[in-house]
Structure 1
Amino acid sequence: MAAARMIFWGAFWAFLLDQASKYLVIHWMGLSRRLSIDVLPPLLNFRYGENTGINFGLFGDGTESARWILIALSLAICLALVLWIGRGRDKGALMQVSAGLVIGGALGNVADRLLYGYVLDFLNMSCCGLNNPYVFNLADVFIFAGAAGLILFEGRIKKPA
């Protein structure tokens, strides 16, 4: 039961922060109208993006069937993570929170696909003379951080002799 609680709270906060950031930047700050807001150039800029695919726009043909396939795939991954982490007695709190971050981020992008038909992206970061043309959102950050945590913290719990 404690595992489910850790996964839930990780997912809850990731989802909430993702959706709140999208509302704040895209709707409240008007990025959808302005298309571009320089925050701390070139390190941090807001650039409006509509992603019908996965990372970097891959598989983004924009068809309705692709949209529903990506929604189903995201939900299947969320369910698989809950089952994998929830059943494992040797999964520590960091693994549980990491799974929650992946789930919350995935559900944030699913919510976008259901509401808009695409994922809202707005973060753009460049550095050191390199101009990054891609945009992403906090859900992507949570998915990446959670996946890294699942890899890094796997097997960290010591099993009794």
Structure 2
Amino acid sequence: MHSDPIDILLVEDNPGDVRLTKEAFKEGRIDNTIHVARNGVDALSFLYRREGYEDAPRPDLILLDLNLPRKNGEEVLEELKDDPTLRRIPTVVLTSSEAEEDVVRSYEKYANAYLTKPIDPDEFIEIVRSFESFWLSVVNLPPAEEQ
């Protein structure tokens, strides 16, 4: 079980989903900080610590939506998993798409998990809590690696 605070990068353009995710994590048992990138370009800037994100922490975990403006989640996933300094950050696709081709492509691009967001807000919060319980209480995350 983790005792250190966890930095999570949430890559999500829907303000309602950002709010629900933060709400679910706030009530959780693990001390965490959620950083939000609202599009794929900002997510990569955060991860590479450039363009206003020079002091960004290296996230312990990434929650990535697929349907993003400027650069979609699939492109972000491919770029970060191609980079030896970023690829070991566990990346979980959290998206509204249930399309089999999206699931297959995400795993082909080395997503660590694929979760479909339910439409019902209470179910969405329950998914995030289950995610937190598994990824932050059961799984051993890799230690932070500085650039």
Greater share of residues in strand: 2
Larger Rg: 1
TM-score (norm 1): 0.27
TM-score by length of 2: 0.28
- Where is the helix percentage greater, Structure 1 or Structure 2? 1
Structure number with the bigger relative contact order (C-alpha 8 A, sep ≥ 6) is 1
